[in-house]
Amino acid sequence: MTNSPRDQLNTATPTDEEQSENKLCPGHGVVVDDLPGAHTDDYLIALTQVVSPGRITHISRTQEGVCVFLDSEMEAAGIVDEGVLEVDGVHLRCRPYRVGCHRVCLSNCLPFLRDADIIAELEKFGQARNPQYEISRGRS
């Protein structure tokens, strides 16, 4: 069995440098307000008036509007600094993408685990925003 060029292409993997360049982070994202009846293509056309089309890596509808990821934080900051994007003649607000919060509820924790240890472990995943509430552990 011979190795065809097609087989070689399918087994190629990106270098570490390419992978680090392609990693997206929240700083690359911009959320544009929703315009009822507008398609994703309408947003893309409007975005190409502000940034080069090659800079747009992902676009997706969300509950709040359309989320666009660009290839650099500097490009995203440029759109956010403008503040508005004109889609189908309507000026829509642009704001930075932010990762939402998650509520965590722990139950049936082992009694010898201290609250401070649990909170310290959870804070490895993000900053605690609200106070922690403790529910009665049952009858004493």
d(CA 125, CA 108): 21
pTM > 0.75: no
pLDDT digits (tens, 9 = 90+) for 72-130: 889 999 999 999 999 999 999 999 988 766 777 788 888 888 888 888 888 887 777 66
Count Cα atoms within 13 angstroms, Cβ side, for 12: 10
Q: Write the DSSP string, 86-108.
A: EETTEEEEEEE--PPP------S
